């Protein structure tokens, strides 16, 4: 629904929907679906031209264990705006190095 609303030019409603989904099923409570909702939120943010927010959401998603893979972002048609950003390569490398390792990092470490 979020992506459909974003495609129809209803950006505010799309963001409200996605943010609500992340709020209702956070990763801390729903380890299986939580990262997926973060992925959809990031995809919606990217579609709406909110690249910095999308990168921040993906950084958050890759900080928890999950089934996702950073290679998806290279192929997903929902992220062309992010792939054009000069910082995409650095983010991509960081995601491949740290995905799901938040429990292994000491508190306060990047």
Q: What is the pLDDT of residues 4-28, one digit of tens each?
A: 666 656 668 778 888 888 888 888 8
Q: What is the residue-averaged pLDDT of the chain? A: 81
Mean pLDDT of 80-103: 82
pLDDT of 31 reads 82
With helix as H, strand as E and coil as C, how does 50-105 read? CHHHHHHHHHHHHCCCCCCCCHHHHHCCCCHHHHHCCCHHHHHHHHHHHCCCCCCC
Identify the pLDDT of residue 41: 94
User: What integer pLDDT is reported at residue 51 of this predicted model?
Assistant: 95
CB 21 within 8 A of CB 39: no
């Amino acid at each position: 629904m979020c992506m459909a609303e974003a495609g129809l030019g209803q950006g505010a409603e799309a963001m409200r929907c996605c943010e609500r989904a992340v709020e209702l099923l956070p990763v801390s409570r729903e380890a299986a679906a939580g990262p997926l909702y973060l992925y959809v939120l990031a995809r919606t943010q990217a579609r709406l031209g909110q690249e910095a927010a999308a990168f921040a959401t993906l950084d958050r998603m890759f900080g928890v264990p999950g089934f996702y893979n950073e290679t998806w972002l290279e192929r997903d048609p929902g992220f062309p705006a992010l792939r054009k950003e000069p910082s995409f390569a650095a983010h991509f490398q960081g995601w491949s190095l740290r995905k799901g390792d938040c429990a292994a990092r000491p508190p306060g470490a990047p």
